Amino acid sequence: MKVMVTGGAGFIGANFLNLLVPRLPEHQFVNVDKLTYAANLGSLQAVEQLPNYMLRRVDITDMEAVDAVFDEVEPELVVHFAAESHVDRSILGPREFIHTNIEGTFNLLEACRKRWPADAGALFHHVSTDEVYGSLGETGKFHETTAYDPSSPYSASKAASDHIVRAYHRTYGLPVKITNCSNNYGPMQFPEKLIPLMILNALERKSLPIYGKGLNVRDWLYVEDHCEAIWSVIERGEIGRTYNIGGDSEKRNIDVVDTLCEVVADETGSDVGELLRLKELVTDRPGHDLRYAIDATRIRQECGWEPKETFDTGIRKTVKWYLSNEDWVRDVRSGEYRKWIDLNYGDRTT
């Protein structure tokens, strides 16, 4: 089978390719990625020499380029990861989010609709987020039937893309599946996101900036568990159906940062008290969702998926990965990264 993976040089896409390209030599994988600041080809070193892997640098907002790569690859499966993905960036500059996440998804759907006959057995798998559901209060969980209520430009753009994907199924019969997953962490995550940012700042004895009081709750899932979940839906999920993915691992941000300090101290033989003193409460994110939690009953029952990692095992693996991949870290922390840190955190601390 010819598989087009969009955004395969980003965090989750690269983990997906690293897992599946060696495991499925009978499938041909083509990574379609614009290579934005969030991409890192260093994440793909293990697969780039394999005969069933190819990279094409394509911006999915460019319909001509999308058509050309579809004509070349003739994919039977599209796994769509490509997106602008960072909430804080969407607050400071929403335009790219609207452009890539909505128009880019639309272009891919058009390319599929033009090419796939009704009986082709093809599939468009749309990778989305639980943030489309908005915020939970102290109790309850997101179900596949929960009404969409996104808070940030990022989550609103993902919500819009989910609706368009669903509309293409209902209107044109395009074979689609959608997964909405909770927060991921693990190797190769760009250090603008909470977990890698805190690991690297702790290692360098920089401040650990916690928004508000650190009481917001996220439901954390190890990235490889997310990738396996997506593959299980591709293999066993029903066409036109949505599946929530989550690890039953709700944590307050402040507790996540404490755990990271403990694991970093343990792995590096440093004083945990010194790391904990780096914590700093800073100005909150506007529209900051209080709590996310996923009910993953449907994917567990219908696709037989179960996460393999607990938060404790996954966090230790993640810290070890950042400790032993200094070159990767150095490469991503380019001038662009430093500009982002200044822009996002410059006015936050008092």
Active site members: 130-131, 154
Q: How far apart are CA 129 and CA 243, in angstroms?
A: 11
Q: Is 233 in the site for ligand TYD (CB under 6 A)?
A: no
Stretch near ligand TYD under the rule CB under 6 A, chosen from 73-81, 120-128, 142-150, 193-201: 193-201
Q: Which is nearer to ligand NAD, 83 or 303 (CB)?
A: 83
Query: Which one of residues 194, 263, 293, 332 is an interface residue with ligand TYD (CB under 6 A)?
Result: 194
* Contact code string over 94-113 relative to ligand NAD, x by CB under 6 A: ------x---x---------
Q: Which of residues 136-195 bind ligand NAD (CB under 6 A)?
A: 158, 181, 183-184, 190
What would the x/- binding string for ligand TYD be over residues 152 to 191, using CB under 6 A?
Answer: -------------------------------x--------
Residue 37, interface with ligand TYD (CB under 6 A)? no
Q: Least separation, in Å, of the C-beta of 195 and ligand NAD? A: 10
Residues with Cβ within 8 Å of 309's Cβ and at least 6 positions away in sequence, in order, are: 222, 224, 225, 247, 317
Q: Which does 210 bind (CB under 5 to 8 A by kind): ligand NAD, ligand TYD, none?
A: ligand TYD
**Smallest distance from the beta carbon of 125 to ligand TYD, in angstroms?**
21
Distance CA 27, CA 305 (A): 22
Looking at residue 103, its amino acid is: E
Does 216 interact with ligand TYD (rule: CB under 6 A)? yes
Asked if 197 is part of the footprint of ligand TYD (rule: CB under 6 A), the reply reads yes
- Name the nearest CA neighbour of 204 among 267, 257, 266, 264: 264
Rounded to the nearest 10 degrees, what angle do helices 105-115 and 63-73 cross at?
Answer: 40
CB atoms within 10 A of CB 192: 19
Listed ranges 108-116, 141-149, 211-219, 302-310: which one lies at the site for ligand TYD (CB under 6 A):
211-219
d(CA 32, CA 6) in angstroms, rounded, equals: 5
How far is the C-alpha of 246 from the C-alpha of 130, rounded, in Å?
Answer: 9
Sign of the Cα torsion 116, 122, 127, 128 reads: positive
CA angle 252, 132, 115 (to 5 degrees): 135
30/198 with CB nearer ligand TYD: 198
Which residues, 6 or more positions from 284, have their beta carbon under 8 angstroms from its beta carbon? 211, 212
Judged by beta carbon, residue 47 or residue 208, the one nearer ligand TYD is: 208
Among positions 4, 18, 47, 59, the unique one binding ligand NAD when judged by CB under 6 A: 59
Token pair recorded at residue 250: 């709700």
**DSSP category for residue 45:** T
35 makes contact with ligand NAD (CB under 6 A): yes
Among positions 60-89, residues that touch ligand NAD (CB under 6 A) are 60-61, 81-85
Binding-site member from 12, 165, 176, 294 for ligand NAD (CB under 6 A): 12
Measured from the CB atom, the residue of 116 and 220 that comes closer to ligand NAD is 220
Site for ligand NAD contains 244 (CB under 6 A): no
C-alpha distances in Å from residue 299, one per residue of 60, 66, 245: 29, 31, 7
Q: SS in 3 state form for 309-326?
A: CCHHHHHHHHHHHHHCCH
87 binds ligand TYD (CB under 6 A): yes
For residue 70, which phi and psi values (nearest 5 degrees)? -65, -40
> Residues in the site for ligand NAD, rule: CB under 6 A?
6-7, 9-13, 33-36, 38-39, 59-61, 81-85, 100, 104, 127-129, 158, 181, 183-184, 190
> Residues in the site for ligand TYD, rule: CB under 6 A?
87, 183, 193-194, 197, 209-211, 216, 218, 253, 285
